[in-house]
Amino acid sequence: MSDLRLPSIDMSIDEFVAQMPRGNGALNDKMGVVITEISPERIVATMPVEGNTQPYGLLHGGASVVLAETLGSIGSYIHASPEKVAVGVDINATHHRSATSGTVTGTATPIHPGRSMAAFEVVITNEQGKRVCTSRITCALISAPQG
Please give the Cα distance from 63 to 145 (Å, whole number). 30
Does any domain span residue 71? Answer: yes
pLDDT of residue 147: 62
The catalytically annotated residue of 37, 41, 69, 121 is: 69
Question: pLDDT digits over 77-113, tens only?
Answer: 899 888 898 999 999 999 999 999 999 999 999 999 9
Question: pLDDT digits over 118-127, tens only?
Answer: 999 999 999 9
Does any domain span residue 5? Answer: no
pLDDT of residue 146: 75
Residue 9 or residue 43, greater confidence = 43
Does any domain span residue 4? Answer: no
pLDDT of residue 8: 55
Does any domain span residue 6? Answer: no
Active site residue 69: yes
pLDDT of residue 7: 56
Question: pLDDT digits over 14-50, tens only?
Answer: 888 888 878 889 999 999 999 999 998 999 999 999 9
Please give the Cα distance from 99 to 126 (Å, whole number). 7
Give me the long-range contacts of 111-117 (CB less than 8 A, separation at least 24). 111/136, 113/79, 114/141, 115/141, 116/140, 116/141, 117/89, 117/141
Average pLDDT over residues 131-143: 97
Residue 35: which domain range? 13-143
Is the bond preceding 82 in cis, omega lying within 30 degrees of 0? yes
Does any domain span residue 2? Answer: no
Q: How far, in whole angstroms, is CA 96 from its chain's centroid?
A: 19
pLDDT of residue 134: 98
Does any domain span residue 8? Answer: no
The CATH number of whichever domain residue 128 belongs to comes to: 3.10.129.10
What b/e readout covers 75-99, taking b as 16+ CB neighbours within 10 angstroms?
bbbbbbbeebbbeeeebebebeeeb
pLDDT of residue 6: 56
Does any domain span residue 92? Answer: yes
Does any domain span residue 25? Answer: yes
Q: How many domains does the chain have?
A: 1
